[in-house]
């Protein structure tokens, strides 16, 4: 069975153009290795789907959160249409299992790479738009993103753990958190990184992941938990924690540990420091 035919069963939609859906699943790496088997890759569909997703999510947020101002609505939208957000939606469809990838990309873990999943999800929406129209495409993505669209999480919790931790430490000390790779083990295509983050020279979090960025994000999420617990409800600390670190249960750590920054920021630098791992 072609990947597109199998995916149709998963989507539950009356897809008419199987070839178009198939193209949405073709990564450029596959086309480079199988030019005789594919007419094109999914990047043009990705371009189109980006606008479809953005408009559908914007419209749904506008209607479902009438009391939110423009800034809060923008933050809510960014948390859904970011690389991490779209990869999360793609994971709900197990979209990575249906993608056609080149051998090298597949061996490097492309089926679970957030940027690749997000791009493929946009291509999928582009194909659904062309085949079934805007109403069907937008209705599909709005239904899939229902948990995020109806969430009343505070503004601070919509930001990534790394952003929240940095804003918190800069507010208190004017310094940025410092990240250090403790070790990286495994083959190049499946390496596991372990990263520590320090605030004021003291390690407050350790994270693991299959890229340095993912491990840093996990470490930052751990640090937020550590700082929240250590605040002890002190009046002079709690307001900052409430604003930047959120309350217990706000983190949704799984939303962020696979983050590749959707805004395209360069990797943040990290500083070699003496790390105190006691208690971590």
Number of domains observed in the structure of the chain:
2
In this prediction, residue 246 carries a pLDDT of 52
Rounded to whole angstroms, how far apart are CA atoms 272 and 180?
6
Least confident span in 31-35, 114-118, 146-150, 245-249:
245-249
Reply yes or no on whether the pLDDT at 137 is more than 80. yes
pLDDT given for residue 237 in this prediction: 42
Instruction: Quote the pLDDT of residue 266.
Output: 30
| Rounded average pLDDT over 81-87 | 91
Average pLDDT over the chain, rounded to whole? Answer: 81
pTM of the model: 0.68
Active site residue 122: yes
Report if residue 44 sits inside a domain: yes
- Same domain for 160 and 45: no
How many other C-beta atoms can be found within 10 angstroms of the C-beta atom of residue 140? Answer: 20
- The reply to whether 68 belongs to the active site is no
User: What is the signed CA dihedral for 220, 169, 74, 134, rounded to 10 degrees?
Assistant: -10
What local confidence, expressed as pLDDT, does residue 91 receive?
A: 94
Residue pointed to by tokens 């997000």: 118
Longest CA span, the chain: 67
Asked if 16 and 62 sit in the same domain, the reply is: yes
Q: Rg for the chain (alpha carbons), in Å?
A: 21
Give the contacts of 148 (CB within 8 A, at least 6 positions apart): 76, 79, 80, 85
pLDDT at 250 over 60: no
Mean pLDDT of 92-105: 88
Catalytic residue among 17, 19, 43, 50: 50
Tell whether 146 and 162 lie within a shared domain: no
Same domain assignment for residues 137 and 174: no
Q: Is residue 271 part of a domain?
A: no
Per-residue confidence (pLDDT) for residue 261, from 0 to 100: 36
d(CA 57, CA 148): 10
Domain assignment of residue 264, yes or no? no
Question: With 70 as the cut, is the pLDDT of residue 200 above it?
Answer: yes
C-alpha separations of 23 from 28, 70, 120, 241, 271 in Å:
10, 36, 10, 47, 44
Please give the residue that has the higher pLDDT: either 266 or 214.
Answer: 214
Average pLDDT over residues 48-77: 94
Beta-strand pair 178-185/202-209:
unpaired
Distance CA 59, CA 260 (A): 25
Q: What CATH number corresponds to the domain at position 173?
A: 3.30.160.20
Choose the catalytic residue: 46, 105, 122, 131.
122
Least confident interval from 124-133, 212-221, 249-258: 249-258
Q: Which domain holds residue 45?
A: 3-152
pLDDT at 196 over 60: yes
């Amino acid at each position: 069975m072609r990947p597109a035919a199998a995916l149709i069963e998963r989507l539950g939609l009356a897809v008419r153009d199987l070839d178009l859906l198939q193209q949405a699943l073709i990564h450029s790496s596959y086309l480079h290795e199988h030019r005789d088997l594919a007419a094109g890759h999914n990047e043009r569909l990705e371009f189109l789907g980006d606008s479809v997703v953005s408009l559908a999510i914007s419209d749904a947020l506008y209607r479902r959160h009438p009391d939110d101002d423009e800034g809060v609505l923008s933050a809510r939208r960014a948390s859904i249409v970011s690389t991490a957000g779209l990869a999360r939606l793609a994971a709900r469809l197990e979209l990575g299992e249906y993608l056609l990838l080149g051998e090298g990309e597949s061996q490097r873990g492309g089926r679970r790479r957030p940027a690749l999943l997000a791009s493929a999800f946009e291509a999928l929406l582009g194909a659904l738009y062309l085949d079934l129209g805007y109403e069907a495409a937008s209705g599909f993505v709005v239904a899939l993103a229902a948990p995020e669209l109806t969430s009343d999480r505070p503004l601070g919790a919509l930001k990534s753990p790394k952003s929240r931790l940095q804003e918190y430490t800069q507010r208190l000390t004017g310094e940025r958190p410092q990240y250090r790779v403790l070790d990286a083990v495994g083959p190049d295509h499946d390496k596991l990184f372990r990263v520590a983050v320090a605030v004021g020279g003291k390690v407050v979090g350790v994270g693991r992941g299959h890229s340095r960025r993912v491990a840093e994000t996990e470490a930052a999420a751990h640090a937020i938990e550590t700082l929240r617990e250590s605040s002890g409800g002190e009046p002079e600390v709690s307001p900052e924690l409430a604003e930047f670190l959120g309350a217990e249960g706000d983190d949704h750590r799984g939303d962020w540990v696979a983050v590749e920054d959707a805004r395209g920021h360069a990797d943040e630098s990290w500083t070699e420091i003496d790390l105190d791992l006691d208690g971590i």
